[in-house]
Amino acid sequence: MLAAERRSRILEKLYEERSVVVSELSREFEVSEETIRRDLEKLSDDGQVVKSYGGAVLNDKMSIDLPFNVRQKENPGGKQKIAELVCKEIGDGDHILLDASTTSVFIARNLKQKKRMTIITNSIENLLELSEASDINVISTGGVFNPATMSLLGRRTAEVIRLYNVDKVFMSCKAIDKEKGIMDGNDDISSIKQEMIASASRVYLAVDSSKFSKLALSRICPLSSVDVLITDKKPSEEWMRAFKENNIECIYAE
């Protein structure tokens, strides 16, 4: 097994268990403890883990972008519930934008039976997911490939998005706060989502409950820019009041 693959597997394990032990990883991957320590050192240097005595824990700072394959395993049940609710908001013939979040992959997976749709996306995973959807017109934004997010980013991506006017944009985020608004991990991601918002008649935020009352590095937009918020469980009464004050329709799984 290559070192990069082993480190990716360690991150997956961390996401599931929140902490790992050097001796256990050494036995599981059949390498020396020193090799595992070097792996953890590299992951620590990248900001993805925090080393602890005899092991490491996942870095929960919201500014850290974990690999796509790791993030995709977070709360899959909640993301599937969100995707099912999103599909009820999309009609045959709609023109939509889908961002490159892990939640949008679940949405794309549930859209394959729709008719005469146009989907514009900067997500490589969405393009693969929709490759066999024969009655959906799929448009890639192009741009610079970012392997960590499996997305296309940059100036070219923004230019393509500006060419279109769509009915709805469906996007997620890394954090949502009543005062700070909608946030993500870095400016490159946030700027593309800002372009998507500007190109859409109606803005949908599809976000699981773990993102509420959190902060991330880069601000996408104020809460009031969102028309509809879709989540996996009913938010608190405090959040429901905030949505009402900002004229946001909140849809949640029962």
The answer to whether residues 107 and 208 belong to one domain is yes
* 195 assigned to some structural domain: yes
The answer to whether residues 229 and 129 belong to one domain is yes
Tell me the C-alpha to C-alpha distance, in Å, between residue 223 and each of 67, 168, 183, 203. Answer: 27, 17, 10, 11
The answer to whether residues 85 and 32 belong to one domain is no
Sheet strand arrangement including 218-221: 175-177, 181-184, 218-221
* 100 assigned to some structural domain: yes
The answer to whether residues 116 and 241 belong to one domain is yes
* Number of structural domains found in the chain: 2
The answer to whether residues 147 and 176 belong to one domain is yes
**pTM exceeding the 0.75 threshold for the entire prediction:** yes
The answer to whether residues 198 and 110 belong to one domain is yes
The 3-state DSSP class for residue 173 equals coil
Query: Tens place of pLDDT for every residue, the chain, 254 residues?
Result: 788 888 888 887 887 777 889 999 999 998 999 999 999 998 888 777 888 889 998 776 644 555 655 565 566 788 999 999 999 999 999 999 999 999 999 999 999 989 999 999 999 999 999 998 989 999 999 999 998 889 999 999 999 999 999 999 999 999 999 999 999 989 999 999 999 999 999 999 999 998 999 988 899 999 999 999 999 999 999 999 999 999 999 999 97
* 65 assigned to some structural domain: no
Question: The domain containing residue 207 runs over which residues?
Answer: 70-252
Instruction: List, in sequence order, every residue forming a beta bridge with 123; answer none if it has no partner.
Output: 151
